[in-house]
Amino acid sequence: MDTDLYGLDGLDSSSRMNTDGPGLLFFEWFRDEWRGLMGMKYEALTNQIIQAFYVVYNTLGYGFLEKVYENALLLELGKMGLQVDNQLPITVYYHGQSVGEFFADLVVNDLVIVELKAAPTLLNEHEAQLLNYLNATSSEVGLLLNFGPKPQIKRKVFDNQHKHYRPKQ
């Protein structure tokens, strides 16, 4: 699931109204209040990860293989004092039977799965991959970070109560 469950992230004042009247002011107030009330799960932590992403992106630029960015981000997050596991194996179960394993690029503070890409642009398949990783674990928040020609970030939330698959505890 996107964190923008109600379609407010894609909205700005010019996309819905062509007025300077009270409707515009109400819309801006409502959008900002709604975001404040909803909050974001692990917002401070994901902001730190995104900050580290931009440090690495601005230093290395575009064009390296994903592993180079993974190693650099691992160092940058460690400098921030965060606990980071890379290439963490996660077993997928089906009806109690192990059916496969995947490797999360990074898991930060045992809370946020970070999937890295070094692609021209993010695709729906990349987002589906992250959502499947979230579905197969007890992690509820994931970041998809692309070190492409333009940096791209997608933040996904998949609450455990909504998962079809319940990970083994």
Mean pLDDT taken over the chain: 82
CATH of range 43-162; options 1.10.220, 1.10.3470, 3.40.50, 3.40.1350: 3.40.1350
Q: What is the pLDDT of residues 58-115, one digit of tens each?
A: 999 999 999 999 999 999 999 999 999 999 998 888 888 899 999 999 999 999 999 9
DSSP 24: H
Domain residues of the chain, as ranges? 43-162
Task: Give, in order, the Cα–Cα distances in Å from 128 to each of 73, 84, 125, 144.
Answer: 22, 23, 5, 10
Q: What is the pLDDT of residues 34-66, one digit of tens each?
A: 555 556 899 999 999 999 999 999 999 999 999
Q: What is the mean pLDDT of residues 126-150?
A: 94
Q: What is the mean pLDDT of residues 21-45?
A: 62
